[in-house]
Structures are given as C-alpha cells and as structure tokens.
Amino acid sequence: MKYFIETYGCQMNVADSELVMTILNDNGFESAAEIFEADVILFNTCSVRQHAEDRVLGRINNEMKHKLSRNVKIGVIGCMAQRLGEELMQLSSGVDFVVGVDMYDKLPEIISSAFHQEMLSVTDINNEQVYPDIMPVHQDPLKAFVTIMRGCNNFCSYCIVPYTRGRERSRGYAEILEDVRIAVEQGRREVMLLGQNVNSYQYQDISFPLLLKKASAVHGVNRIRFTTSHPKDLSDHLIEVMAENEKICQHFHLAMQSGDDEILTRMNRGYTASHYYNLIAKLRKAMPEIAITTDVIAGFPGETEAQFQRTYDLMKAIEFDYAYMFKYSPRTGTKAALYTDQVPEEVRLDRLQRLISQQEKITHKKYQEQIGKIREIYVEGISRKSESEVAGKTPDFKVTVFPGTKEMIGKFINVKIVDAVGWTLKGEVII
Ligand code: SAH
Ligand code: SF4
Ligand code: F3S
C-alpha cells in the first residue's frame, strides 16, 4: 500500500512527517512518488494562523477528485487534526480519518480500519509521548531536522501551539545523539535541533547548552543549528557555548513579537522590550558577525498606533537580518481571541505592510554588507536559475549562488561575496 504525505507548518511538522514515514515504512507501507499513485493521502497540518488552516482545507477538497477514480483514503494529521478532531470530517466530507500528534504510532492500524469503512478520529493527547522507539529516517541527503523536544508550556496568549502540541517534554539525549550520529554517518554534515523553546530543554542533568556541546562533538558533523529560542529562557551559558564552538552556526532566531511592554505582558511573553534589546546586544558582543532573525506580530488585540510604533522603532534599532512578520490571527481557545479590543483587519494589514517595507530595506542593507567577505558555503544543489551555478548557505543561513558544478553538492566551499540580489548572495570561488 502506498502513501503520500503533504506537509504544512513549521520544521517540527517536517520532522514529524519523517517520523510518520518511518512508522509507515516499518509497517509494510511504501512511499508514493506522486500523489496520484497513493492509496493513502496524509495532510500534516498547521493551525498557527487561520490562513494556514484555510489553505489545507482547500487542498483537501481539491484532492477529493482522486476518490472518483480509485479507492483512496484521505487522512489529516498534525496540529489541525489535534485542534479540530472529528469536526474535520464535517468541514470536509473527503476526510476519512484524523490522527493527533501523539498518536502517530497508531497510524498503521487506523489506516487499515479506514479501508474497512470506519471513520476514525484519534486525537488523545499523551503529554509524555516522545516516540522513544522510533529513529526517524531523514529524507534530505545533506541535512537533518532532529526533534529534541515536543509540546510547549509557554501559553503565549495568541498561540494555539500549547493546545495542539500538549505539554513540553524533552527527548532523551542519548536518542538525540544517536539520531545525530546516524544522520551524519549517512553523509549529512548539517543538523538542526528542533523544539518550540529549545532553551528549556532538560533531560536528567543535561541542559540545552550541554546538549549542543555534545551534538557538535559528534564525529563528522560540520554545522549545528537550532530553533526556536524564547527570550525569557536564553542563558549566558548558551551564548558562551555558541561563541566558543565553531560548529554551532552563528545564527540566532529569537522571536520578539512586539516592542511594547504592555503588549508583551498581554501576550504573556515574560520579558520587556529592553530585556530583549539587551539580549541582542549580548549576542552581538559575544559574536560580532552573528545573524539574528525574528518573528513579529502586527495588530495584536488592543495594540494602539503608539504601541505599534514601538515595535517598528525597535526593529529599526536592532536591524534584524531577516524577520518573519505576521498579522495577528485570532485562534479559538486562546486567551487573546477573547479580548474585546480586536484591532480591525485593515489596520492589522496596514501595520504589517509598514513593518515589511521597513524590514525589506534593512535586510537589503544587511545583504549588501556581505559584499567583499569570504564565506563558507555548504552546497545544497544546482541553482534554480542557472545550470552552471550552484546554491547553498552561509553558516548564518544566507542563500548564496556561485558558478560551480554538481560535484560540489554536499561540499563546503569558500567563496568571496561579489553581489547581493534580493535575498540571494552571489559569490566567486576563491582558489
Ligand atoms: N515557539 C516559537 C514560535 C512558533 S509559532 C517561538 O516562540 O519562537 C511561529 C510564529 O507564529 C510565532 O513566533 C508568532 O510570531 C506567530 N504566531 C503565532 N500565533 C499567531 C497568531 N495567532 N497570529 C499571528 N501570528 C502568530
Ligand atoms: Fe507559541 Fe509561545 Fe509556545 Fe512559541 S513559546 S509555541 S509562540 S506558546
Ligand atoms: Fe503550525 Fe503546529 Fe508548527 S500549529 S507552526 S505546525 S507546531
């Protein structure tokens, strides 16, 4: 029996799709190269914003056409499955089964029940689930996403994740290191450690900085990345470990969300704008070349123009290399969705656009500043635009394209940056 998985949402969902593939492969299923060859179509979904959910529902309705020509079952897994459960079957008549994020080990059974005409929704939360017996098979031949924890306890007032993913729990460090070791042994040189708040990783006496140290000591790994960090839990120890260890990439993703203290309090973020600013200063002091990226929300309930302006100004003062900017989207079940002072949609959109256009200029400037520097690129493939060029990333995650051949794929090559076009650096190999 063949399956096809379509994945939405964050890197954790990408990692979970690999987990699901591993579970299915171990149980006699086979991965289909194309959706139209599959007997089972799985949508691994995201609930973080309404838009993410609408897109998937549209896709499911679109793929229902396969049911006309053959016996295919459609399943929804991931955060939307967890949030909506059975309701999904009403929202889309094409959905045959729904499986929540802690129940993936039951998928083989559930799929077989679906073929016996049972409509199933299995979304129990298991706050201990870390899938200890499954070593996910990573799909990308060059880099691996390694889950180090699941769930989130922070309950930021706008966010659905603590409800869809359950309580925070850390995966055993021995399993994590084994996962890294296998990934590297199979030829990968880059590993990204994943969790909703990696700074609070704790397994027995191993904290996140110690885990990072151990992961970077795995023989053969060249680059260790991690995401994401919460400003309230970012320790000096982590900064120290990063600064002194050249395998840990000098890129930090640190969600700021807002530059206004009252909004940060209402978001339940647990830090002030000045605390955030000081963290950035500390990171840059310890690692002058570090790239810093962030997430920001425009139009959180009650946000006044003056409060928005503080976000705008703080982003200007900090100059992030890149920012993921969102307009606030109310999520049913979260505290902020109940606030009565919701900001009108057109104001949210206008603020978002102002943030985006300011950030575009800053990112442009940051990329221009790279010109003339020598950077190490991990080559990931042939450039999408030209057969005679290859593309890869700097340690701080900047896409770089330069003349080269397919033999360079998987290698680390030093290039001199000669230009920056949009969000892409152009390089020349230095000999
Ligand atoms: N755990 C990560 C964030 C995961 S969600 C962290 O705390 O850094 C990714 C981003 O989506 C968040 O940082 C936030 O900026 C955005 N987001 C979450 N819920 C949202 C909502 N209801 N509306 C708009 N953006 C939201
Ligand atoms: Fe959501 Fe906050 Fe948890 Fe991030 S830390 S997943 S924003 S609740
Ligand atoms: Fe989305 Fe779930 Fe990730 S809501 S952002 S897929 S944890």
pLDDT per residue as tens digits for the range 52-103: 999 999 999 998 888 888 899 999 999 999 999 999 999 888 999 999 999 9
Q: Say if residue 108's pLDDT is above 90.
A: yes
φ, ψ at 182 (rounded to 5°): -65, -45
Ligand 3 centroid, distance to 134 Cα (angstroms) = 21
b vs e for 209-221, b when ≥16 Cβ sit within 10 Å of the residue's Cβ?
bbbbbebbebeeb
Average pLDDT, the chain: 96
Per-residue pLDDT tens for 195-226? 999 999 999 999 999 999 999 999 999 999 99
pLDDT at position 291 is 97
Contact 391, 384 (CB under 8 A): yes
Ligand 1 contacts (CB < 6 A) are 48-49, 158-159, 161, 196-197, 228, 230, 255, 257, 295, 297, 326, 328-329, 331
Ligand closest to 162 (CA) is: 2
Q: How far is CA 113 from the centre of its chain?
A: 32
Per-residue pLDDT tens for 310-366? 999 999 999 999 999 999 999 999 999 999 999 999 999 999 999 999 999 999 999
User: Tokens representing 237?
Assistant: 């120890």
b vs e for 11-35, b when ≥16 Cβ sit within 10 Å of the residue's Cβ?
bbbbbbbbbbbbbbeeeebeebeee
Per DSSP, the chain holds a count of helices (H) and strands (E) of: 14, 21
Q: Which amino acid is at 126?
A: N
Q: Which amino acid is at 347?
A: V
By three-state DSSP, how is residue 45 classified?
A: strand
Q: Whose CA is nearest to atom 4 of ligand 2?
A: 196
Q: Confidence band (pLDDT; 50, 70, 90) for 118?
A: confident
Average pLDDT of span 19-42:
97
> Whose structure tokens read 């007032």?
157
Ligand 2 centroid, distance to 159 Cα (angstroms) = 6
By three-state DSSP, how is residue 256 classified?
A: coil
Say how many C-beta atoms besides its own lie within 10 A of residue 94's C-beta. Answer: 21
The model carries a pTM of 0.96
Domains, the chain: 2-122 (3.40.50.12160), 143-366 (3.80.30.20), 374-429 (2.40.50)
Cβ of residue 152 lying under 6 Å from some atom of ligand 2: yes
> Whose structure tokens read 């992961």?
215
Q: How would you class 54 by CB atoms within 10 Å of its CB: exposed for 0-12, middle for 13-18, buried for 19 or more?
A: exposed
Q: Say if residue 429's pLDDT is above 90.
A: yes
Cβ of residue 10 lying under 6 Å from some atom of ligand 2: no
Q: Which of 48, 194, 196, 256 to mutate to test the pocket of ligand 1 (most atoms within 8 A of CB)?
A: 48
Q: Which residues contact 73 (CB under 8 A, 6 or more apart)?
A: 39, 40, 41, 96, 97, 111, 114, 115
Per-residue pLDDT tens for 389-407? 999 999 999 999 999 999 9
Q: Say if residue 17's pLDDT is above 90.
A: yes
Show the beta-strand stretches assigned E in 210-317: 223-227, 251-253, 291-298
Q: Say if residue 422's pLDDT is above 90.
A: no
Looking at the DSSP bridge assignments, the partners of residue 75 are 42, 97
Q: Which of 227, 326, 329 to mutate to test the pocket of ligand 1 (most atoms within 8 A of CB)?
A: 326
Contacts 24+ apart (CB under 8 A), 261-266: 262/307, 263/300, 263/302, 263/303, 263/307, 263/311, 266/157, 266/300, 266/301, 266/302, 266/336, 266/339
Contact 214, 204 (CB under 8 A): no
Angle at CA 100, nearest 5°, toward 98 and 102?
Answer: 150
In eight-state DSSP terms, residue 337 is G
Q: Say if residue 134's pLDDT is above 90.
A: yes
Contact 185, 223 (CB under 8 A): no
Q: Which of 7, 13, 44 to mutate to test the pocket of ligand 3 (most atoms within 8 A of CB)?
A: 13
Whether residue 293 has a cis bond before it, omega within 30° of 0: no
User: Tokens representing 70?
Assistant: 């053959």
Q: Which amino acid is at 313?
A: D
pLDDT at position 68 is 85
User: In the Cβ-directed half-sphere of 320, how many Cα atoms lie within 13 Å?
Assistant: 27
User: In the Cβ-directed half-sphere of 66, how many Cα atoms lie within 13 Å?
Assistant: 20
Q: Say if residue 154's pLDDT is above 90.
A: yes
